Structure 1
Amino acid sequence: MNKRGRVGCRCRSAAQLSGCSVNLRVRHAPVTNILAGANTCCQKLYRIEEPAPGKSVPVVASMPHSGTFVPPSIANAFTPLHRTWLRNTDWYLPLVYDFLPELGVTTIAATHSRYVTDLNRDPEGLLFGSFHEAVIFNSMFDGTPIYQELPEAPALRQRLVDYHSPYHEELSNIIGRLLTLHERVLLLDLHSFFGPIEDDVCVGDLRGVSCRQETTNLAINAFARQRFRTVCNEPFSGGYLITETLRTLRRRRYRSSCATRRICTAVA
């Protein structure tokens, strides 16, 4: 992995919500020879790293595409290529950002691959289809098939229950706990990428929707000072995880008396 990266930062300013989120993406080199079906079973759907007691700050970092584990029952249906290479994985992000808890940041990282279910896609949208649209892919962005044996619809729907919903529920719980202690929470939605741009960092703020402009500028300027080539919202402006977090917090606001709280979100 080289130093070139993409960072997507999205922060939404909503009058009745509290919190703020930033999504960081890091450019990486191609990685091969990764077994889709791990030899040791990974039971946990995510890993949470918390700061030391008394050191917590109102910042949460989410890594929804960092997982590499595919249950054997799913991996066995993959083509030989995809049993040995999980393309478009956000490689090594938990290692890249393992310093965050020392700074007071709570992190949550997926352990299961986005080939199982993509946590950054809408589960109420297309269930099974192309890489660009579906919550579960049947092919990659270039049309390369993933499965040699297509899964049945009931099994696909069960994946959403088993793998997709728990991650979002836990992320929502983490943010909710911090909002009981702080007026705002910053959500970092962290990703990596290999193409389609040559820039180092992409900061996404849903094109000015997900956070204050000052927050976006803060991220852009910080990377610029380190001489990273940084772009904003092109080609990554944000995804499902951030928009769903906003909707969840709005629903909580209507069910609570915290009508004066606000949220900012950042996505890539």
Structure 2
Amino acid sequence: MSEIKDAFEFSRGHVPLLISMPHAGTRLTPAVEAGLVAQARSLPDTDWNIPRLYDFAAELGASTLAAGYSRYVVDLNRPADDKPLYAGATTGLYPSTLFDGTPLFHEGGVPSSEERARYLAEVWMPYHRTLATELARLRDEFGYALLFDAHSICSQVPHLFDGRLPDFNLGTHSGASCDPQLAQRLKQVCAAAPQYSHVLNGRFKGGHITRYYGQPENNIHAVQLELAQCIYMDEAEPFAFREELAADARVVLRKLLETYLAWGQEAHSTRTSQ
């Protein structure tokens, strides 16, 4: 078995915000790469170009955590016990199909249970240890922590949802992962950009990371944002980044994160003054 290296990239910031990017990775293990069907080799279900889209995060002072390995190896936004998160069509901890329902691996190409146990231990666990440690550090230092789970997906995936996906899809586990006032503030930011469509807790309500780490009762707030990829990139291979589109999308993204930080400061100041 080859050694698994660079499971993630982490950068520590100086404000109480952590941006997680669990589906941005493109590395494959030899066993996964050898088993993939031809349609999967371009990694179409990747959250393409997300680190580049959020390249302003350092200017805000946010911490960032980005996956190194593809979700085809192990999905960092699924629970370790692989309990389904959504009713209907979805993908699991170890995906078996592409988003369009096509089998991910050719016959006999599925990695062994031993291989997959290693992916859980050497890819999934290190990402989540880092995520949990950073959230704990932020809460200890600031009194609260803000988690923003950044995703993107092709705007039309008939196997997963009907029609065209809204541009900005905010998810708060149906209100359980963050303060409801925060969710409304973020929704207002999206509404103030009428060139883009948006929804709160629509098809994407937040995956495992949002659901597990979002604990507003413990001063840890979590929000997932699923973006329609057509607002910042080409959705067809080779999935090129479109700077002229991304520039406009970044204006809204930056406003969302600035609003997130401002809300946290206001809410914490109110609590500590009471």
TM-score in terms of structure 2 length: 0.70
Partner of residue 48, structure 1:
10
Correspondence 1:185 to 2:145: yes
Q: 1:136 aligns with which of 94, 101, 122?
A: 94
Partner of residue 78, structure 2:
121
Correspondence 1:97 to 2:54: yes
Partner of residue 86, structure 1:
43
Take 2:83 and 2:184, find their aligned partners in 1: how far apart are those partners? 34
Percentage of pairs with the same residue: 30
C-alpha distance after superposition, 1:165-200 (max 9, x if no partner): 110000111111111111111100000121343421
Correspondence 1:76 to 2:44: no
Distance 1:93 1:102, change over 3 A: same
**Paired AA for residue 236 in structure 1:** F
Partner of residue 205, structure 1:
172
**Paired AA for residue 170 in structure 1:** T
Take 1:172 and 1:114, find their aligned partners in 2: how far apart are those partners? 20
Take 1:133 and 1:103, find their aligned partners in 2: how far apart are those partners? 33
Take 1:157 and 1:167, find their aligned partners in 2: how far apart are those partners? 15
Q: 1:175 aligns with which of 91, 115, 135?
A: 135
Take 1:42 and 1:92, find their aligned partners in 2: how far apart are those partners? 23
Take 2:19 and 2:121, find their aligned partners in 1: how far apart are those partners? 23
Instruction: Report the alpha carbon displacement of residue 97 of structure 1 after superposing the two structures with TM.
Output: 0.4
Partner of residue 112, structure 1:
69
**Paired AA for residue 57 in structure 1:** V
CA RMSD of aligned residues (A): 2.4
Greater helix share, structure number? 2
Structure 1 residue runs of 5 or longer lacking an equivalent are 1-40, 251-259
Partner of residue 145, structure 1:
103
Q: What is the number of residues matched between the two proteins? A: 210
Partner of residue 29, structure 1:
none
Distance 1:98 1:190, change over 3 A: same
SS at match of 2:222: coil
Contact 1:204 1:267 in 2 (8 A): yes
Instruction: Report the alpha carbon displacement of residue 261 of structure 1 after superposing the two structures with TM.
Output: 4.8
Take 1:191 and 1:214, find their aligned partners in 2: how far apart are those partners? 22
Take 1:263 and 1:144, find their aligned partners in 2: how far apart are those partners? 38
TM-score in terms of structure 1 length: 0.72
Take 1:120 and 1:198, find their aligned partners in 2: how far apart are those partners? 20
Contact 1:45 1:163 in 2 (8 A): yes
